[in-house]
Each structure stands twice: as C-alpha cells, then as structure tokens.
Amino acid sequence: MAEEVEGLLFADSTAQIGVQVVYLLIVLMLALVTNSLVMSVVYRESNLQTPGNLLLVALSLIHVFGAVNSIPITVLVLGMGGYRFGQVFCTVQGLAGNFTIVSSLCLLGAVCGSRLLLVTRPTEYLTKFTDKVAKATVSACFLPGYLAVVLPLVEGTDFRFNQGMLVCWGYSKSANAIFLVSFLWCLLSTTVTHYLSYREAKRLAAIKASFGASVYVWETLKRTAFMAGAFWITWLPGLIINIIIAEKDTATTLDYALQRTFVLLNLLTTFMNPLLYAFTHQFIRDAIKRQLYRMYLTMNEAIDDLKALR
C-alpha cells in the first residue's frame, strides 16, 4: 500500500501527474466558487450582515487567498517537473503560506467560539458581540499571521520548495511556535464548541424547550460538527507526519509521499468549510439560490440582447 501511494504521487508518468493536476484544479474551482458565493450573499443580503457572518466572510477570504497562493504554482511545478520561479518568489510564497495557515486556524476557532457563545449565552451574544467586537476579533486572528510573516524574515529563514508539501517552506522556530499555538487554539475551540453545543441540545430536549430554540441549537451543533470533523481529519494527521519528518535526519520518498497525501487532503478545507457550514445555514442557502437565479436571469437577458443584435 505504501509503495502504491509513493508510486502514484511521485511517478514521472503523465497520467499520474495528470491525476494530481486535475484534482488540484477541481479544488481551486470549488474554493473560488463556494467562498465567493458566501462573501457575495453576505454582502448583498442585509439580513445576513451580522457580526458572526463577518467572521465567516473573513475565513472565506483567507481560504481564497490560500488557494490562489498555492494551487496554481503547484500545478505549474507538477507540469514543469520542478520549481523554476526563483528564490525571491519562493520566499514570498512561503511567507504568504505562513500567514494563510495561521490566520485560517485562528479564524476557524473564532467562528466556532462565536457559535458557542450564541448557543450557550444568546443574550450576551446579541447584546455584546457587536460589529466592532467582530472586527476586533478578525484583527486579532490576523495578528498571529502577520507575526508568522515578520519573524521568519527577522530570523533570515531560508525558504525552499518542499516536494512533499508542494509549496515553498522554511524552518522557523518562531513561525512553528505560532502555528502550534494557533493549531491548539483551533483544536480546543472546535472540540469544546461541539461538546457544549451537544450538551445544550440535550438539555433543551430534556426540558422540552420551544421547537424553534431546540432546532436552532441542533442546526448549530450539526454545522460545528462538520467544521470540527473536517479539521480533525485534515489537520491532525498532517501535523503528526510533519513532526515525524522534522525529527528524522533524512526524510525518505515515502515520508514525502505521506506528507503530500495529507497536504492534498488538507486542501479540501478551502471549500469544505463554506460548503459544510454556510451552505447548511437556511438563510445563506436561500440567499445563494436567489443570487444564482438572478445570475440566470441576467445571462438570459444577455443572450436575448445578442440575438437581437443579429
């Protein structure tokens, strides 16, 4: 099995490289489409412009930035058989990757934390979690990302293309420490949010609370379960593999193959979060349907105008 994975990911045959390229292009398309829909409907629909959804928009923006920063270059590298873009570009891509990873982890934890506040302390959420608080939260989530960019520059980190991670990466003690703290924050937030939401849902069911309140808590529980599950599946194995490789004197091709497997899997989070969270929200889903219908009408009008010109 290990040899098959190694052969699939690192073989020189056009077919096997093509499979990875097609996969990456599909992920890029889904990331751009799903996140753009979330950002556009929140912008257009006044009833969706809430502090909690501001965090979702920031998370979608980071996902788009991360996908655009890594996937197109990776596709070109696979097609050309190696990295040929120069050291300066490699450094810029590596620093942008640091910012994306750390900020996305912090924002994902913040999104789950805001939902936990909504479920367990709805009054405080409605009165104290204002737009200013949400913007301050987004800024606080971006701050570790900025540090993960600045500190490696101060340390003089040397960025090189990593054949396992498929991106430029440089070893930096400070950036790794920031990443670990962000990872633990996200792990704690997603896990605690899911557990306490489940406990609150059971409590409401036990006291036979109003149907609306009970359903809302269960819906929130379902969405946070999706986000937590996606995080556990795509981040935890990759972190373990990276730690194992870092502890080795010399990494083998199999090590890089396993690393690449979980990197490719982790890329799914660029569209899974909006797909599994935002798209399960009734109001957001209805807004997306309305927007798609408006796009359909606009397209038909454009086609009719072209026919009239003929």
Per-residue pLDDT averaged across 206-229, rounded? Answer: 66
What integer pLDDT is reported at residue 211 of this predicted model? 52
- pLDDT tier at 137, thresholds 50, 70, 90: very high
- Entry field: residues in the chain: 310
d(CA 301, CA 307): 10
CB 19, CB 8: distance < 8 Å = yes
Per-residue pLDDT averaged across 224-239, rounded? Answer: 73
The verdict on residue 303 lying in a domain is no
- Domain containing 235 equals 2-281
Tens-digit pLDDT profile for residues 237-288: 777 777 777 666 676 777 777 778 777 877 877 777 777 666 666 767 777 7
Check pLDDT > 70 for residue 215.
no
The verdict on residue 183 lying in a domain is yes
The verdict on residue 294 lying in a domain is no
**Tokens 């412009």 sit on residue:** 49
Could you tell me which of 295, 280, 120, 88 has the C-alpha nearest to residue 194?
120
The verdict on residue 290 lying in a domain is no
CB 96, CB 71: distance < 8 Å = no
The verdict on residue 245 lying in a domain is yes
* CB burial of residue 208 (10 Å; 0-12, 13-18, 19+): exposed
Amino acid identity of residue 274, one-letter, is: P
Check pLDDT > 80 for residue 21.
yes
Classify each residue of 105-134 as buried b or exposed e, where b means 16 or more C-beta atoms within 10 Å of its C-beta.
bbbbbbbbbbbbbbbeeeeebeeebeeeeb
CB 136, CB 118: distance < 8 Å = no
Percent of the chain, pLDDT > 90?
Answer: 8
CATH number at residue 89: 1.20.1070.10
Per-residue pLDDT averaged across 41-61, rounded? Answer: 83
Residue 77 to residues 85, 122, 136, 165: CA-CA distances in angstroms? Answer: 9, 49, 38, 12
Check pLDDT > 70 for residue 236.
yes
Tens-digit pLDDT profile for residues 73-130: 888 888 887 788 888 888 999 899 899 989 988 998 898 888 888 777 878 887 888 8
d(CA 133, CA 120): 18
Domains contained in the chain, number: 1
pTM of structure: 0.82
The verdict on residue 295 lying in a domain is no
The verdict on residue 302 lying in a domain is no
Check pLDDT > 70 for residue 205.
no
Radius of gyration of the chain (CA): 22
What integer pLDDT is reported at residue 13 of this predicted model? 58
The verdict on residue 297 lying in a domain is no
- pLDDT tier at 207, thresholds 50, 70, 90: low
